[in-house]
Structure 1
Amino acid sequence: MISFMHIAKNVKVTELSLYEDAILDACCHNIPADDELWYRVVEVSVLLLTCTQRSNPRSPWYDRVLSEMLGHLERQPLNKERRVAWLTLIGPVFDSMGLFLLAHFRLLFSLFFQWIHADDDRTVLLVLERIHTVIKLTWIRKSPYTSRLVNELVLLYKESATRKSREMMRNHIVEILMLLQKCKGQQFEEAWKKHEADLDLTLLLSRFKELCTEDGSPETGILNVDSCLA
């Protein structure tokens, strides 16, 4: 892995293209590495993948590498070191894949929904950042995960009351809800209606209304904020 890192940082992309299939195949085979090597494996794989495939989201290597990583994480969802390393480093791959992330929603959201309630604040914050990125890149409207996502965000908002990183978590949650609102999905509207009368969400609704005003978005409609605050 150290050799691959040296190659990725010092060899020209045009020269790498001659060996990219062999190199990326080796990266895939190294994904089940031991814990002490996992961070380096993910770091090298992300660097080499984005370096050789650049912004070609149709490349089968994006699909294969991400599938290998997600499959491995699915088998060890409670491994804190692995999930933190992956969440920290995977951003460039998400950015390069864009809409093609839709093909991986099942595993992505399965892991996100498990990790969003993790005991450590770092995992939770990283998950919220990645969820925001995925929504921004795919601009989801109709998805079987929208309702579950809203419910999990609301639950996390309540749980965050006892967290050290409470304010950061709640800011991320509001940002994600704002993004979901802009998608104007009917699923989001229906999911939110279940929480409109929840008195524990007064602060969340107030903050959302404030951001809607600043953003110039309507304050009624999908979230029906005024009726929630009445």
Structure 2
Amino acid sequence: MAQYSVEARGLYGTQAKLSVYEPLVKANQSSEGAVYVMNGQDGTFNAIWAGWYVYPDLAGDFRARLHVAWEDPNNPDCYDLFCAGFLQVSSKIAPGVRLLPVSTYNGPQYQMTILLYKDPKTKNWWLVFGNGMQPVGYWPDSLFSSLSGEASRLVWGGSIKTSPWLPSPPMGSGHFPSEGFGKAAYIYDIKIVDDHNTLRIPNSRFFYTSCQRECVL
């Protein structure tokens, strides 16, 4: 997994732009790029995240699709609408929709905008998507314990899943950032939602990095 993260008080969401790729995976594998909102530890851990994935076991194909997910102690890794919880409000876009066009290595680059934020009135966690900032749906506050208030950690990055008998699939383009724009996947224009429901650029001194070799999404 390659991640950038920030840990602080008063975190109520995040917005970022992610390049969208369609990495080659096999059955029993997945590859994703997403933004994450987290709080709690062990038996109290809660998380929500949204972005794109290639996940044939869920989607039934090998295409890049919009996805949402969440986790609590009773429901690990609930994806899209397969678990009761995420409530879709948009009539135009839904979790699981195919994303087109997608970026290609050393070719055109395409991106998506994701905003996750806690509504200060309802306390629900909302997903907003795309350049038009389309509200897609929300996770009710009642789903969570440690995320019923603020988040303690925000994460931007990618992850993969694979069976132990298969080699790891690529993440993003599968290439390192040293190759430059157009060849490595990216996440940029990162902002956090503060306790005044305002988007701010996070202070770089709070960033943590978790990578193997080079950070590449």
Query: TM-score when scaled to structure 2?
Result: 0.24
Q: TM-score under structure 1 normalisation? A: 0.23
Is the radius of gyration larger for structure 1 or structure 2?
1
- Report 1 or 2 for greater relative contact order, CA contacts < 8 Å, sequence distance ≥ 6: 2
Structure with the higher helix share, 1 or 2: 1
Larger strand proportion, structure 1 or 2? Answer: 2
